[in-house]
């Protein structure tokens, strides 16, 4: 079973991965063909005007090229690279050697090595029986409350998020086990799908988080500080999603489980302890300085392999090569988009577009409150057409310098971006968690969109809280001495 970053229900083509496209505009038989002309026209007009000597802002040319290429159905990673190359070669005198050099030096970052290791650890844990034991432990703790299995799903997603680093991996690992059980126990399918689709988004907020590593790479922010900063917001969001689940279950009189004895709770805890220890290994090791976040990722991959193959013995050695190949495939896609995004960031910096945006906002008298509102709107809109990796790598180099100039803490700004990515993963048309849940539940995207709205509203409320209450994000890393 390959790792699911999102798939169509009833289809074999992947959707929503790092190589995914935005909005393809291939002509449909029987319909007008003129819409297919929009992308090339969008690409050509600013370039022709610039070459003709018309005074047009560089930012307009760059983004017209980028979105024009994306609208052709081209993968986002290739669109980024072609945008940079087209602009540099057609409108500047930058030598080709500098572009080639930037391709290599841009990814010579030790932190980037954490990404393939966390992907590998998540794949071992997804297929190694860890999720099932976490669900049993969560059910024994909260299953006797209203909507017991739903609450157990939220808690299990939070626990698995603390070892996987990926939202779609959390949805498929927890959802494939608990959603059929909820239907058998009498829960409506929409209720279970709404719970798991949104709770699975905790995978990129509760550390370790692949998206946080990408933000750190794009902005040179401390990965360790970001990981620690995600703990309190992650627990708060998990609590809010749990309260929403409990309230809806109590209102509709959904079933609950018999209360587990303390003996049963201790038994399920002992069975899940090997997976839960990984949280202590990663976070504890980073905080105490025993190893760096990248070294923690490598240790988590080895630990997850040991637990899945030799402790729980749910993964035979014959499946290990397939897991390694799938992890390498996904890591290669992510590293390819990172490479092109580094070039795009270089172009943004060389053309001073972030600085111009900051100057414009200051000239208009827009302060931190208005800027953060603007950031949230832009990121939520971007979530309609791109997946989280692309958004972070494209938007962070543009928005981050403006945030710093306005006095926004870089770690706090990173948490804001991650929470925006969580919301984007749960709404159409490119919500990765929706497509993963669709593959599990066999429900259509429209039906799933209706199912998730109560929890989606909760996430939007949380977004407002985390945006305008910086202490929620930065209190813990400051208390631990990881940032000033």
Cα distance between residue 139 and residue 42, in whole Å: 54
The residue segments making up the domain with residue 225 are 110-479
The whole-number pLDDT of residue 4 equals 34
Q: How far apart are the first and last CA of the chain?
A: 44
Residue tagged 């018309």 (tokens) = 54
Does 163 fall in a domain? yes
- Residue 8 — pLDDT band, cuts 50, 70, 90? very low
Burial 97-127 (b: 16+ CB within 10 A, else e): eebeebbeebbebebbbbbbbbbbbbbbbbb
Does 4 fall in a domain? no
Bond prior to 474 in cis (omega within 30° of 0): no
Cα distance between residue 295 and residue 299, in whole Å: 6
Q: What is the pLDDT of residues 425-476, one digit of tens each?
A: 888 777 788 888 888 888 888 888 888 999 999 999 999 999 999 999 999 9
Structure tokens at 427: 């709404």
DSSP 208: S
Judged against a pLDDT cut of 60, whether residue 289 lies above it is answered with yes
- Residue 269 — pLDDT band, cuts 50, 70, 90? very high
pTM: 0.81
- In contact, 421 and 214? CB cutoff 8 Å: no
Cα distance between residue 3 and residue 13, in whole Å: 13
Residues with Cβ < 8 Å from 80, sequence gap 6 or more? 66, 337, 340, 341, 343, 344, 394
Report H helices in 128-261. 130-142, 148-164, 167-184, 189-199, 210-219, 223-229, 231-252
Does 292 fall in a domain? yes
Does 116 fall in a domain? yes
Does 230 fall in a domain? yes
Does 105 fall in a domain? no
Domain count, the chain: 1
Per cent of the chain over pLDDT 70 is 89
Judged against a pLDDT cut of 70, whether residue 22 lies above it is answered with no
Structure tokens at 367: 């302060």
Does 448 fall in a domain? yes
- In contact, 180 and 213? CB cutoff 8 Å: no
Judged against a pLDDT cut of 50, whether residue 2 lies above it is answered with no
The residues facing 14 across adjacent strands are 7
The whole-number pLDDT of residue 13 equals 37
Does 14 fall in a domain? no
What single string gives the DSSP state of each residue in 23-89?
A: ---PPPTTS-SGGGGHHHHHHHHHHHHHHTT----HHHHHHHHHHHHHHTT--HHHHHHHHHHHHHH
Q: What is the pLDDT of residues 322-334, one digit of tens each?
A: 999 999 988 888 8
Judged against a pLDDT cut of 90, whether residue 123 lies above it is answered with no
Quick check: helix, strand or coil at residue 99? Answer: helix
């Amino acid at each position: 079973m390959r790792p699911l970053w999102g798939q169509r229900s009833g289809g074999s083509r992947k959707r929503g991965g790092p190589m995914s496209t935005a909005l393809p505009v291939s002509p449909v038989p029987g319909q007008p063909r003129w819409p297919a002309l929009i992308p090339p026209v969008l690409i050509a007009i600013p370039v022709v005007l610039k070459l003709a000597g018309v005074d047009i802002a560089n930012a307009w040319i760059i983004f017209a090229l980028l979105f024009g290429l994306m609208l052709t159905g081209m993968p986002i990673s290739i669109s980024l690279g072609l945008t940079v190359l087209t602009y540099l070669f057609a409108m500047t005198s930058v030598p080709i050697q500098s572009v080639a050099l930037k391709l290599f030096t841009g990814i010579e970052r030790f932190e980037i090595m954490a990404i393939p290791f966390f992907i590998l650890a998540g794949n071992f844990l997804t297929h190694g029986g860890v999720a099932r034991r976490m669900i049993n432990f969560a059910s024994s703790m909260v299953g006797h409350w209203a909507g017991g299995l739903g609450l157990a799903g939220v808690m299990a997603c939070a626990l698995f998020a603390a070892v996987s680093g990926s939202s779609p991996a959390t949805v498929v690992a927890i959802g494939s086990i608990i959603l059929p059980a909820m239907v058998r126990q009498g829960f409506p399918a929409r209720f279970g799908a709404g719970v798991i689709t949104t709770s699975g988004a905790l995978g990129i907020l509760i550390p370790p988080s692949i998206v946080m590593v990408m933000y750190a790479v794009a902005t040179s922010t401390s990965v360790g500080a970001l990981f620690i900063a995600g703990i309190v917001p992650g627990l708060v969001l998990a609590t809010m999603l749990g309260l929403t689940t409990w309230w809806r279950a109590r209102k509709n009189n959904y079933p609950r489980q018999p209360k587990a004895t303390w003996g049963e709770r201790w038994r399920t805890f002992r069975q899940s302890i090997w997976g839960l220890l990984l949280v202590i290994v990663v976070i504890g090791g980073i905080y105490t300085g025993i190893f760096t976040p990248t070294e923690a990722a490598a240790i988590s991959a080895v630990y997850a392999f040991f637990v899945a193959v030799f402790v729980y013995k749910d993964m035979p050695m014959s499946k290990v090569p397939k897991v390694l190949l799938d992890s390498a495939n996904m890591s290669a896609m992510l590293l390819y988009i990172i490479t092109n995004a580094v070039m795009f960031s270089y172009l943004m910096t060389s053309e001073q577009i972030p600085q111009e945006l900051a100057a414009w906002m200051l000239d208009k008298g827009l302060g931190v409150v208005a800027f953060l509102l603007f950031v949230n709107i832009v990121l939520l809109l971007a979530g309609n057409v791109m997946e989280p990796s692309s958004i972070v790598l494209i938007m962070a180099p543009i928005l981050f310098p403006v945030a710093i100039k306005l006095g926004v803490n870089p770690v706090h700004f990173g948490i804001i971006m991650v929470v925006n990515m969580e919301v984007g993963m749960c709404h159409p048309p490119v919500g990765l968690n929706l497509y993963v849940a669709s593959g599990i539940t066999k429900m259509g995207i429209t039906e799933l969109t209706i199912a998730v709205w109560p929890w989606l509203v909760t996430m939007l409320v949380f977004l407002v809280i985390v945006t305008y209450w910086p202490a929620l994000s930065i209190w813990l890393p400051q208390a631990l001495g990881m940032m000033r």
